């Protein structure tokens, strides 16, 4: 079956009223959590994981896809109107879009963000549609050694490339790996790191960790800070549409943003922060109005917003084709797949072809729904920004606790949730990133499984990881990612340290 | 400045570094308690947990050293992120909310637990009217109970089970 036929099959399923309803619901919920500060798509999907026991897989993943894309759209509204990014990837929008709003151009800023998100989201989804089967072809040749090496690369990339410090990224990774190994070892049946607690035999629930860190930890941090209602909500002045001049200045940044966003999102390091920043600087350099940057240049909103949405499609590529999550949201979606007994990877495209193509088709449909939801209904979303923080955060904490309790009716899980909340608070305060912890927790056991399989095949020869060209190359890239930033910073420092001495000699 | 968990300068990062040491040590003890498998594999059940624990131990050393040298950022020292006065009170309200939820969820049901928890959390985030917070908390708890338990089938137990309070004793 060709890619096109498979995609059409996906559309046929995704457009069924029952599934479409989940898609619309997901887009609505995604925009809602994107707009509201303090909740993100990873947290929302984690809170909905208990539903995997009740809802068919296709409907559930269409819902998750809607939430994932919707949060990207919604995040820009918050960034533009209150200069507080709803999502970390919309920081640049917060910078430039808010300046536009302050100049009375909130409408065009919201319009270019929404249309750019639609254009780039669609381009990203087209790229996913046609590149994914190609990656699957390559991935089918992967053995366990390559998977182990790829897991190591993804773990290193997420920890050392993203975030502000390699040390702090690796700390989060090590904690995540330790958590991932808690529970019964599937190969030997031995309980590991459970300390006699029967509740830990099945391992630590990803939902508990994620909700603890993202919801409880964030709430603890905000309560500690006491910076409530600091952001001034800008008035939505003028209509949410683009003038001829705005169109002219936006369409190229949308395309360039999409071209930057998708490949960066698809890389093992994933993330959307880097492509959004690159897009911003590229637009600043290419713009005919560079003097407007920092004061509200429309290109500075159009490009980064497009990059942000295209990277969201890119992140799905390693997840669906290789089973490698490269962001916290992707890690939770992987966890949802596992909840259904499905392991993402190249075989997903053959064994669960219907499901995967329904999911991809729903991304196209979701983009259209989101454009319709975000442009005419923007006034509704803006109202959400006026919800007082005391009701918002109290609500987040109650719903998080109830959802974790509801998943297993276990107070042990609630206790763990609060313990991870304290951990999340400390991480937030010390600028330790959360994504490596979540990704490490999910990827650690998969890495162990691949290593074991590779060593069984090689009859215990560890050289198998170095002797296979692809595995060796992936490990070499991982080593380079780990060493290079430090090396570059040392090389940069070296001339500066020499200069005073050389000055003295002269 | 009277703030909750405000430990000036290096003390919070150093405390976190010590916490990481403890976590790594817990990992090492946990690994030592994993029974030896009957069949000897190249990658046994102990190997990767041991590697992760030792890795964390090394990183904890690096972090503590960096903290001691004042090279670990702490939001408390950032002028834009530093806490405002009254943090101890806000923290106490929030912890009280968490304790209330933990203590009441299984005994009196999500209705009472959610209402009390919501009101306590709202106080932590600057609510001025306890009565209003209780009312909104009750309606919010009812809404999530109806959505999760009644509509989506996630078992949360009865909305109110005040009877258990009297039968427990």
Most confident of A84-88, B95-99, B145-149: B95-99
Q: Quote the minimal CA–CA distance from B74 to chain A in Å.
A: 5
Sign of CA dihedral A449, A455, A457, A459: negative
One domain for residues B162 and B101: yes
Give the A window 50-69 contacts with B, CB below 8 Å.
50-51, 54
What's the confidence (pLDDT) of residue A99? 87
Domain termination site, one of B49, B77, B105? B77
* Range with the poorest average pLDDT among A42-46, A306-310, A495-499, B103-107: A495-499
Give me the residue from A51, A388, A411 closest to B106, CB to CB.
A411
Q: Pairing between strand A183-184 and A191-192?
A: antiparallel
- Does residue B58 share a domain with residue B125? no
Contacts of B27 in chain A (CB under 8 A): 178, 193
Q: For the segment A344-397, what is each residue's pLDDT rounded down to a tens digit?
A: 888 888 888 999 999 999 999 999 999 998 888 888 888 888 888 889 999 999
Residues of A in contact with B110 (CB under 8 A): 402, 405
Q: Are residues B63 and B104 in the same domain?
A: no
Chain A residue closest in CA terms to B90: A223
Q: What is the pLDDT of residue A102?
A: 85
pLDDT digits (tens, 9 = 90+) for B50-59: 999 999 999 9
Is the predicted pLDDT of residue A494 greater than 90, yes or no?
no
B 54-83 residues inside an 8 A Cβ radius of A: 55-56, 59-60, 62-63, 66, 72-76, 81-83
Measured in angstroms, the CA of B63 and the nearest CA of chain A are apart by 7
CB within 8 Å: B55 and A177? yes
Residue A356, pLDDT score: 92
Residue to substitute from A29, A230, A397, A412, interface B, most B β-carbons within 10 A: A397
The reply to whether residue B156 touches residue A226, judged by beta carbons under 8 angstroms, is no
Distance from CA of A231 to the nearest CA of B (A): 13
Do B21 and B71 sit in the same domain of this protein?
A: yes
Which residues on chain B are in Cβ contact (under 8 Å) with A397?
A: 94, 97-98, 101, 117-118, 121
- B98 and B53 in a single domain? The answer is no
ipTM over 0.85: yes
Closest residue in B to A404 (Cα) is: B156
B-interface mutation test, from A84, A168, A190, A390, most B Cβ less than 10 A away: A390
A229 contacts on B by Cβ (under 8 Å): 126
Asked whether the beta carbons of residue B59 and residue A171 sit closer than 8 angstroms, the reply is yes
Segment A325-331 shows an average pLDDT of 88
CB A225 within 8 A of CB B76: no
Nearest to A209 by CA among A428, A404, A484: A404
Question: Is residue A500 very low, low, confident or very high in pLDDT (cuts 50, 70, 90)?
Answer: very low
Query: Is A476 a residue whose pLDDT tops 60?
Result: yes
How many other C-beta atoms are found inside a 10 Å radius of the C-beta of residue B162? 12
Cβ–Cβ gap A429/B48 under 8 Å? no
**Using CA atoms in the order A44, A161, A93, A88, what is the torsion angle rounded to 10 degrees?**
30
Number of structural domains chain B divides into: 2
List chain A residues with CB under 8 Å of B156.
Answer: 402, 405-406
Structural domain contains residue B20: yes
For residue A191, what is the enclosing H or E element? strand A191-192
Same domain, B101 and B131: yes
Flag the least confident range among A32-36, A209-213, A229-233, A414-418: A229-233
Percentage of chain A beyond pLDDT 70 is 92
Residue B65 lies in a domain: yes
- Confirm if A460 and A138 have CB atoms less than 8 A apart: no
DSSP result, A22-79: HHHHHHHHHHHHHHSTT--HHHHHHHHGGGGGTS-HHHHHHHHHHHHHHHHHHHHHHH
pLDDT exceeds cutoff 70 at A501: no
CB pairs under 8 A between A and B: 225
Residue A208 near residue A410, CB atoms below 8 Å: no
If one counts every other C-beta atom within 10 angstroms of the C-beta of residue A203, the result is: 17
Mean pLDDT of A149-161: 85
Per-residue pLDDT of B101-144, as tens digits, reads 999 988 898 999 999 999 999 999 988 889 999 999 999 999 99
| A463 C-beta neighbours (distance < 10 Å), count | 9
Picking from B53, B94, B105, the nearest residue to A411 by CB comes out as B105
Kindly report the average pLDDT of chain A as a whole number: 87
- Give the residue from B32, B59, B77 where a domain finishes: B77
Considering the domain architecture, whether residues B93 and B119 belong to the same structural domain is answered as yes
Top pLDDT among A269 and A398 is at A398
Our CA angle for A275, A278, A282, nearest 5°, is: 135
Whether residues A444 and B52 touch (CB distance < 8 A) is answered with yes
pTM: 0.85
Give A230-262 pLDDT, tens digit per residue.
Answer: 566 777 666 778 889 999 999 999 999 999 999
* Residue tagged 């036929």 (tokens): A5
Q: Do the domain assignments include residue B6?
A: no
- A202 to chain B, any CB pair closer than 8 A? The answer is no
* B2 within domain boundaries: no
**Nearest CA of chain B to the CA of A56: how many Å?**
12
- pLDDT for A496: 53
**CB-based contacts of B142: which residues, under 8 Å, 6+ apart?**
B111, B159
Helix (H) or strand (E) holding A184: strand A183-184
B10 min Cα distance to partner chain A (Å): 11
pLDDT at B7 over 70: no
* Residue of higher predicted confidence among A276 and A231: A276
Place A409 in a pLDDT band, splitting at 50, 70 and 90.
confident
Residues of chain A numbered 203-242 and touching chain B (CB < 8 Å): 216, 219-229
If asked whether residues B73 and B92 sit together in one domain, one would say no
Compute the average pLDDT of residues A62-76: 91
Task: Give the pLDDT of residue A505.
Answer: 37
User: Is A224 in Cβ contact with B90 (below 8 Å)?
Assistant: yes
Q: Nearest-CA neighbor of A98 among A233, A238, A289, A250?
A: A233
Chain A residue closest in CA terms to B66? A167
Q: Which residues in chain B are contacts of A170 at CB distance < 8 A?
A: 55, 59
Question: CB A300: neighbour CB atoms within 10 A?
Answer: 30
Do B59 and B92 lie in a common domain? Answer: no
Residue B4 has pLDDT above 50, yes or no: no
pLDDT in tens, A23-54: 999 999 999 998 887 788 998 998 888 888 78
How big is the CA angle at B151 (ends B149 and B152), to the nearest 5 degrees? 70
Examine the pLDDT at A497 and tell me if it is beyond 80: no
The closest of A94, A97, A46, A89 to A71, measured between CA atoms, is: A89
Judged by CB atoms closer than 8 Å, whether chains meet at A406 and B44 is answered as: no
Q: Is residue B82 part of a domain?
A: no
As a whole number of angstroms, the longest Cα–Cα distance in chain B is 64
Range of the domain at B44: 11-77
> What pLDDT does B5 receive?
47
Start-to-end C-alpha separation, chain A: 74
B20 contacts on A by Cβ (under 8 Å): 171
- pLDDT value of residue A499: 45
State whether B112 and B158 are in the same domain: yes
- The alpha carbon of residue A267 is apart from the nearest alpha carbon of chain B, in Å, by 25
Subunit contact B127:A192, Cβ cutoff 8 A: no
What pLDDT sits at residue A116? Answer: 94
Picking from B77, B103, B132, the residue at the C-terminal end of a domain is B77
The yes-or-no verdict on residue B1 having pLDDT over 50 is no
- The answer to whether residue B4 is domain-embedded is no
Residue ranges of A 133-172 with Cβ closer than 8 A to chain B = 164, 167-168, 170-171
**Which range has the worst mean pLDDT, A48-57, A133-142, A276-285, B44-53?**
A48-57
Summarize pLDDT for A424-470 with one digit per residue, the tens. 999 999 999 898 999 899 899 999 999 999 998 998 899 999 999 99
Give B-chain residues touching A190 at CB under 8 angstroms: 34-35, 37, 45
Residue A45 to residue A50: CA distance in whole angstroms:
10
**pLDDT of the residue at B169:** 40
Out of A50-59, A148-157, A379-388, give the one with best mean pLDDT.
A148-157
- Closest CA of chain B from A317, distance in Å: 28
Comparison of pLDDT for A379 and A174, the residue scoring more: A174
Residue B41 resides in a domain:
yes
Whether B112 has its CB under 8 Å from any CB of chain A: the answer is no
pLDDT of A504: 37
Contact B74 A429 (CB under 8 A): yes
- Residue B28 covered by a domain: yes
Q: Are B67 and B16 in contact (CB under 8 A)?
A: yes
* Same domain (yes/no): B30, B59: yes
Is the predicted pLDDT of residue A201 greater than 90, yes or no? yes
* B163 shares a domain with B101: yes
Between A40 and A183, whose confidence is greater? A183
Helices (H), A323-457: 328-339, 348-351, 353-374, 378-384, 389-408, 411-429, 435-457
Give me A220's structure tokens. 């603890």
């Amino acid at each position: 079956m060709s890619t096109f036929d498979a995609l059409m099959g996906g559309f046929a399923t995704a457009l069924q009223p029952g599934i479409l309803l989940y898609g619309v619901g997901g887009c609505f919920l995604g925009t809602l959590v994107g707009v509201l500060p303090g909740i993100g798509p990873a947290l929302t999907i984690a809170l909905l994981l208990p539903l995997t026991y009740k809802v068919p897989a296709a409907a559930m993943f269409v819902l998750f896809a809607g939430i994932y894309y919707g949060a990207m759209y919604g995040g820009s509204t918050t960034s533009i109107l209150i200069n507080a990014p709803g999502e970390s990837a919309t920081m640049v929008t917060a910078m430039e879009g808010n300046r536009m709003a302050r100049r009375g151009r909130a409408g065009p800023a919201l319009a270019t963000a929404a249309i750019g998100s639609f254009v780039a989201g669609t381009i990203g989804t087209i790229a996913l549609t046609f590149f994914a089967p190609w990656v699957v072809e390559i991935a089918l040749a992967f053995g366990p050694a390559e998977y182990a090496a790829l897991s190591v690369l993804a773990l290193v990339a997420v920890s050392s490339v993203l975030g502000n410090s390699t040390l702090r990224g690796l700390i989060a990774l090590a904690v995540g790996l330790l958590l991932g190994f808690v529970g019964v070892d599937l190969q030997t049946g031995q309980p590991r790191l459970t300390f006699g607690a029967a509740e830990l035999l099945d391992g630590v629930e990803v939902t508990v960790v994620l909700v603890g860190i993202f919801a409880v930890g964030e709430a603890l941090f905000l309560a500690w800070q006491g910076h409530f209602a600091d952001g001034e909500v800008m008035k939505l002045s003028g209509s949410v549409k683009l003038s001829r001049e705005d169109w002219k200045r936006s369409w190229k940044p949308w395309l360039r943003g999409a071209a930057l966003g998708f490949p960066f999102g698809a890389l093992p390091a994933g993330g959307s922060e880097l492509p959004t920043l690159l897009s911003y600087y590229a637009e600043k350099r290419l713009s005919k109005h560079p003097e407007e940057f920092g004061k509200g240049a429309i290109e500075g909103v159009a490009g980064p917003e497009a990059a942000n949405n295209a990277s969201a499609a890119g992140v799905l590529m390693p997840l669906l084709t290789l089973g490698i999550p490269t962001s916290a949201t992707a890690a939770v979606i992987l966890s949802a797949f596992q909840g259904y007994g499905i392991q993402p990877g190249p075989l997903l495209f053959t064994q669960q072809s219907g499901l995967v193509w329904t999911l991809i088709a729903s991304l196209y449909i979701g983009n259209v729904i989101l454009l319709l939801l975000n442009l005419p209904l923007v006034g509704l979303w803006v109202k959400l920004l006026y919800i007082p923080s005391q009701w918002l955060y109290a609500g987040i904490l109650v719903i998080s606790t109830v959802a974790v309790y509801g998943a297993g009716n276990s107070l042990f899980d609630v206790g763990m949730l609060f313990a991870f909340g304290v951990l999340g608070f400390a991480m937030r305060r010390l600028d330790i990133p959360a994504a490596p912890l979540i990704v490490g927790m999910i990827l650690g056991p998969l890495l162990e499984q691949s290593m074991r399989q590779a060593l069984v095949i090689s009859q215990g020869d560890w050289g198998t990881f170095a002797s296979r060209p692809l595995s060796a190359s992936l490990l070499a890239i991982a080593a380079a990612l780990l060493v290079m930033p430090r090396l570059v910073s040392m090389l940069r420092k070296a001339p500066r340290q020499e200069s005073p001495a050389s000055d003295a000699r002269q | 400045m009277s703030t909750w968990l405000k430990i000036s300068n290096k003390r919070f990062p150093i405390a976190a570094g010590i916490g990481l040491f403890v976590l790594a040590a817990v990992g090492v003890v946990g690994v030592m308690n994993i029974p030896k498998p009957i069949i000897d594999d190249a990658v046994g059940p102990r190997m990767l947990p041991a590697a992760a624990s030792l890795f964390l131990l090394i990183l904890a050393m690096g972090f503590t050293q960096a903290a001691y040298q004042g090279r670990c950022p702490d939001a408390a020292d950032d002028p834009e992120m530093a806490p405002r006065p009254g943090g101890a009170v806000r923290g106490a309200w929030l912890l009280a909310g968490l304790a209330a939820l933990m203590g009441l969820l299984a005994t009196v049901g999500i209705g009472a637990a959610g209402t009390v928890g919501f009101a306590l959390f709202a106080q932590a985030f600057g609510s001025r009217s306890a009565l209003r917070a209780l009312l909104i908390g009750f309606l919010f708890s009812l809404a999530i109970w109806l959505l999760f338990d009644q509509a989506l089938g996630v078992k949360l137990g009865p909305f109110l089970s005040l009877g258990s309070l009297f039968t427990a004793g």
